[in-house]
Chains A and B, each alone.
Chain A
Amino acid sequence: MAAPELLSDEGYRADGRRPAELRKIRARMGVFAQADGSAYIEQGNTKALAVVYGPHEMRGSRSKALPDRALVNCQYSVATFGTSERRRRPRGDRQTGELALQLQQTFEAAILTQLHPRSQIDIYVQILQADGGNYCAGVNAATLAVMDAGIPMRDYVCACSAGLAEDTPLADLSSPEEAAGGPRLVLALLPASGQIALLQLSARLHQERLETVLEAAGQACRALHAVLDRVVRERLREVTALLGD
């Protein structure tokens, strides 16, 4: 099978990036006034929106309330116009259900849930345009939204994908690179402590290559952390200026 070249002879990828280079990131916090916290992020052509409500009283069945910590309820959906072919079901299929569960596990590791027992925190992630790294963009947007809502967190959660082209690890895969069929590693990292919240691998990867790909993903997450940190500090300055303090 003649796969399209992931890496040219000069060492450039199909979209002109270097192997370890991330796509251009634009992010905004406080997009919606009605929600407790919201954020919008663009990573290249992937656009993700996250909205956070909470902590509030348990809705629905009260028996699911945890006596010592808050319940994190996540929903992940891809807009019908988000992919190149119109999607029939924005959510409710197995893949989005699994991604929602992964979001929940990731954020339960980062949010200090012991501070709000018997309450619920809702995180809704909507992918407006899916061009590779959808779940990662969702996690990054959700991190900013949770911070915007003022929910105490242990650290940022920065997520990035990484792959392999021959022997060179690639960071932040775009949609054509993901479709090429090579291994895809998704890493969600808490940068300050270096703890991993989520690690997922699709396709096959040789054991000896795991270290290099993991390292590349880790570097990409730390670079992403620097960008998100700038966005958060800018937002803090903006909010303080608006409130006239």
Chain B
Amino acid sequence: MAPPARYCVPGERLCSTEEATAGSGTYTRHGFIFSSLAGCLEKRSEDSGLPVVSVVRDAESQLLPDVGAVVTCKVCSINSRFAKVHILYVGSTPLKSTFRGTIRREDIRATEKDKVEVYKSFRPGDIVLAKVISLGDAQSNYLLSTAENELGVVVARSEAGVQMVPISWCEMQCPRTHTKDFRKVARVQPQFLQT
């Protein structure tokens, strides 16, 4: 069993900014680093000079999607101009409550953006890998984009209710009825595929 770590509480002064840099769970004020969470103190030494001081909690608190993060979402409705999705995972951590996101028509593909049809790229119920491009403004939700080869639909069900198999970057086929459906398919890296 590891020796008991040092516990800190919000408002506790940890050290000065000359001895270390502030990491997560801390804030700086008047040249000193204070803790902002109730948890265990962690000191990591960086190669570039000062060690990084951070406070970690055992139970992970809510993670918010940040710009540039790859998220897993489920399409809930589509429109001729955009698709509305529920963001379920950020990276590999599940979210406790879902966030709403929007994939605009021009952000679905990188090439031939004006020839895109949303109905031929996503359908309600698809699981999609997307990247956050904006936190949105006062009126809109998170803005997502699938304009990369590794982003797009990963799981889709055909009208027969069976999970479809991807055959190209724009088509998926149902294994039972052999009908082909159009989707913007993600090229998942081989190491993430489970057989």
Residues of A within 8 A of B (CB): 36, 54-57, 62-63, 65, 67, 112, 116-119, 147-156, 190-193, 229, 232-233, 235-237, 239-240, 243, 245
Contact = CB atoms under 8 A, between A and B. Distances in A.
Chain A CB within 10 A, most for which of B12, B36, B100: B36
B189 interface: no
Nearest to A150: B61
A153 B138 contact: no
Chain A CB within 10 A, most for which of B5, B7, B60, B62: B62
B32 to A, nearest CB: 11
Contact of A62 (B27, B62, B138): B138
A144 to B, nearest CB: 9
B193 interface: no
Nearest to B87: A57
B36 A154 contact: yes
A48 to B, nearest CB: 19
A149 B10 CA distance: 13
A192 B12 contact: yes
A67 B138 contact: yes
A36 B10 contact: no
B94 interface: no
Interface stretch (B37-45, B72-80, B104-112): B37-45
Contact of A239 (B59, B99, B139): B59
Nearest to B62: A55
Contact of A152 (B36, B58, B98, B138): B36
Interface in B124-146: 135-139, 141
B11 A193 contact: yes
Majority DSSP secondary structure for residues of B touching A = loop
Interface residues of B, number: 36
Contacts of B62: 36, 54-56, 150
A236 B37 CA distance: 11
6 contacts: A152-B27, A155-B11, A155-B34, A190-B11, A233-B9, A237-B7
A116 B64 contact: yes
Nearest to A62: B139
Nearest to B57: A150
Interface of B: 2, 4-5, 7, 9-13, 25, 27, 29, 34, 36-40, 57-62, 64, 96-100, 135-139, 141
Contact of A150 (B7, B29, B37, B141): B37
B58 A55 contact: no
Contacts of A150: 37-39, 57, 59-62
Nearest to A235: B38
Contacts of A237: 4, 7
B10 A154 contact: yes
A116 B7 CA distance: 24
Chain B CB within 10 A, most for which of A147, A191, A236: A236
Contacts of A119: 64
Nearest first, the 10 closest Cβ-Cβ pairs linking A and B are A155-B11, A150-B61, A152-B36, A192-B11, A153-B10, A147-B38, A236-B7, A56-B97, A57-B99, A150-B57
A155 B11 CA distance: 4
Given A57-B99, A232-B38, A156 B9 contact: yes
